[in-house]
Amino acid sequence: MNVESGKLKAGQARHPAESTQDIIARDKVKAPGWVASESYEYMGSEDIDTARYLSSEYQDEEFKRMWTRTWQFACREEHIPEVGDYYVYDIGKYSFIVTRVGENDIRAYFNACLHRGTKLRASGTEGSASEFKCVFHGWSWNIDGTNKEQVCPWDFPHANPEDLKLPEARVELLGGFVWINMDPEAPTLREYLGPEALAHIEAWKLEDRHIVCHVSKPIPANWKLNMEAFMEAYHVPETHPQVSPTNADVNSQYDIYGEHMDRFISSLGVVSPVHTGKYTEQDVLDMFTVGDSSIVTEKPEVPDGATARQMMADMFRENFEKAAKTDLSHISDSEILDCFSYTVFPNTFLFPGISLPMVYRFRPNPNDHRESLYEVMFLHPNPQDGSSYETSEVVHLTADQSFKEAEGMDEGFGGILDQDTDNLFLQQQGLEASAKGGMTLGDYQEIRVRHFNAAVDKYMAMEPKLPNWKELQRK
Ligand code: FES
Ligand SMILES: [Fe+2]
């Protein structure tokens, strides 16, 4: 560590400032193993071929080779708490009615009538059903996917109702999420993630949280560019100058876990190496707390020898304990304070840290490879006393609205998301204008971008695989 870069092998160089692990090691409440460890791998330094962002043909192939084989977060279990509840999840032209059929039985039906194909439930809808009836001629299905009624069965001696079960994607549950996969031959979700990635997701206990704010917005850039904008903290000093002073940005930590998950840890409450010497511990604390009366009611002072980071961890712990009526004494300072960002390939980000718990999801517009739908969900702990809670409905922003306009969005954070996404149209256009044909990546700070694209490449090298309805019917 901290050795002159000229003497290191590729991928071994790090910012000469202290590392994330150095910062975390000083904390009072010590971090568990999955935080206090590193898992970086060097994956080469070649440019990333940018043809992947630039054509509708490439995106069409992604739908045939990648989206039909990968595990995707369709909805949260909390979206469908009761038997008969359903939630429509679309990916490209594919659409699924994710339905709770029994207390522990969730299924994902291909959302198309088996008569002449009409969608059984409109995209973007959710609700409760005792049957799925087609609006065209009235054929209907029970919520367990069996055919309930064929109108005028005398005219369909060739279409046996027994053979008309709604085809299903596979469903697995993890972390309170409902994950689906269209490929009957895909590995299980647990195999897909691998034991290490799985252990991380399980450790964060995201099943004990619920959505308190859910915002979606179309972004004028390819879905992969949209994803990649959130994979590194390298952009923070330039794109988010207002948060850089109190964020270990260019000395964040990057890890990869198998083929389908990676993460960064960006420590908060420390001065960025970009700003070394410019701010005192008191300045750092003030930048976080002053003016936010929901966190503090009077300006706290950093005593001699104390650190802003430790004071913030103590304050955040106390405030979250009060707000959620729960005991967080065993949760490490890092889990309380720091920004943890995990990508679950292909299109989900988990930010499970306590101070800013979020989930992002990214989906391509199937009719325009230059547009993607970006969703941000904020999660809060479920009440410990078992009292009920509401799962927030999605707020749809238009492309020209600010994230700040979404109800429930913190204004400062909405501004950060605007900064992130305002760059993207320029990047899409620049890649189209570029004569380079490649993106050059940092070996360390941009490893998640490389890792993500390695998984894209893996699926794109496979033969197309389209869902076959007979193979997907329950036996
Ligand atoms: S298309 Fe659904 S009943 Fe005819
Ligand atoms: Fe950002």
Q: How far is the CA of 135 from the centre of ligand 1 (A)?
A: 7
Cis (ω within 30 of 0) for the bond into 346? yes
Percentage of the chain exceeding pLDDT 90: 88
What is the pLDDT at residue 327?
83
Q: How far is ligand 1, taken at its centre, from the CA of residue 181, in Å?
A: 26
Tokens 């799985």, residue located: 198
Q: What pLDDT is attached to residue 355? A: 86
Q: Is the pLDDT of residue 386 over 90?
A: no
Q: Map residue 80 onto helix, strand or coil.
A: coil
SS3 at position 206: helix
For β-strands 358-365 and 368-381, DSSP reports them as antiparallel
Q: In whole angstroms, how far apart are CA 379 and each of 176, 351, 356?
A: 11, 9, 8
pLDDT at 236: 95
5-50+208-460 CATH, one of 2.60.40, 3.40.50, 3.90.380, 3.90.1530: 3.90.380
Q: Is the peptide bond before 300 cis (omega within 30 degrees of 0)?
A: no
**pLDDT tens-digit series, residues 161-183:** 999 999 999 999 999 999 999 99
Query: What atom in ligand 1 is closest to the CA of residue 113?
Result: 2
Cβ of 136 less than 6 Å from ligand 1: yes
**Which pair of tokens denotes residue 260?**
């389908």
Ligand 1 atom closest to Cα of residue 137: 3
Residue type, 151: V
Residue 96, strand partner residues: 89, 110
- The residue whose C-alpha atom lies closest to atom 1 belonging to ligand 1 is 116
The pair phi, psi for residue 295, each rounded to 5°, is: -100, -45
The amino acid that residue 2 corresponds to is N
| Six token digits for residue 460 | 């794109």
Binned at pLDDT 50, 70 and 90, residue 384 comes out as confident
134 lines ligand 1 (CB under 6 A): yes
Distance from residue 131's CA to the centre of ligand 1 (Å)? 14
Nearest atom within ligand 1 for CA of residue 116: 1
Ligand located closest to 115 CA: 1
Residue whose CB lies within 8 A of the most ligand 1 atoms, among 120, 131, 137, for a mutation test: 137
Given this model, what pLDDT does residue 381 score?
87
CB 115 near ligand 1, within 6 Å: yes
Angle at which helix 281-289 crosses helix 308-324, to 10 degrees, equals 30
Mean pLDDT to the nearest integer, 454-470: 97
Domain range 72-185, its CATH number among 3.30.830.10, 3.10.350.10, 2.20.25.570, 2.102.10.10: 2.102.10.10
pLDDT tens, position by position, 50-64 = 999 999 999 999 999
How is residue 111 written in tokens? 């959302």
Task: Check residue 68 and report its DSSP letter.
Answer: T
Domain segments of the chain: what residues? Answer: 5-50+208-460, 72-185
pLDDT at 295 exceeding the cut of 70: no
Spatial neighbors of 185 by CB under 8 A, at least 6 apart, are none
pLDDT of residue 3: 46
The CA distances from residue 387 to 85, 206, 325, 383, in Å, are 20, 18, 12, 6
How far, rounded to the nearest angstrom, does the alpha carbon of residue 125 sit from its chain's CA centroid?
21
Does residue 118 line the site of ligand 1, with CB under 6 A? yes
Q: What is the distance in A from the centroid of ligand 1 to the CA of 116?
A: 5
Ligand 1, from 134, 147, 150: best to mutate by most atoms within 8 Å of Cβ? 134
**How many whole angstroms from 91 Cα to the centroid of ligand 1?**
22
Question: What is the CA(151)–ligand 1 centre distance, in A?
Answer: 9
Beta pairing, strands 261-266 & 438-439: unpaired
C-alpha distances (whole Å) from 377 to each of 210, 276, 370, 385, 394 are: 9, 33, 23, 23, 9
* Closest ligand by atom to 235 CA: 2
